[in-house]
Amino acid sequence: MTIRDERTEPPDVDRLARAMLQVHGAHDDDHESGTGDGPNSWSKAPDFASDPARAAAVREASLRDRERYLSAGLAPVDCRFCHVTVDVKKLGPTHTAVQWNSAASQRCAVFTELRASGGDSSRSRSCPKLADSIRHAVSEGCLEEMSSAPSPGDG
């Protein structure tokens, strides 16, 4: 019998798997669920291939959900320093969602200076000049202090 130090050696995966099977029973995830495109499909949701109208309605609803999830409550804010425009949503007094686009991140003066000094702008928490512009947009009433848009999951 070998003695194993559990603090330094990884656990025996086969032994753990057998123990879990004893406790929870076997699960066969490779069975056909009756949906999707046949026995080799991994999809758990139906594709409505036999009902094109319903498939189109589901596709349209999915596109609307995606658009709402990505842009609900976002408002354009212009940086007063370098004049880039980003989409912003205030989620609370200390939480702001900023959706940068490629052009804005390339034109941002603070990020350009950071990259020129060898830094990585994607590692920066934010642009302080843009943060000032966001505060200004809130104080001017151009941006809600707390977004009234419903959260994406409340549709």
pLDDT score, position 34: 46
According to DSSP H, which parts of the chain are helical?
13-24, 52-71, 102-107, 109-116, 128-139
Q: Model-level pTM greater than 0.85?
A: no
- 3-class secondary-structure state, position 72: coil
Give CA torsion, residues 61, 65, 71, 74, to 10 deg: 110
- Segments of the chain scoring below 70 in pLDDT: 1-11, 25-43, 152-155
Interior/surface letters 108-119, b for 16+ CB within 10 angstroms, e for the rest: bebbeebbeeee
The residue written with tokens 């490779």 in the block is 30
Q: Which pair of tokens denotes residue 75? A: 């408002």
pLDDT digits (tens, 9 = 90+) for 34-70: 444 555 666 677 778 889 999 999 989 888 888 887 7
Q: Which pair of tokens denotes residue 12? A: 């025996």
pLDDT score, position 136: 96
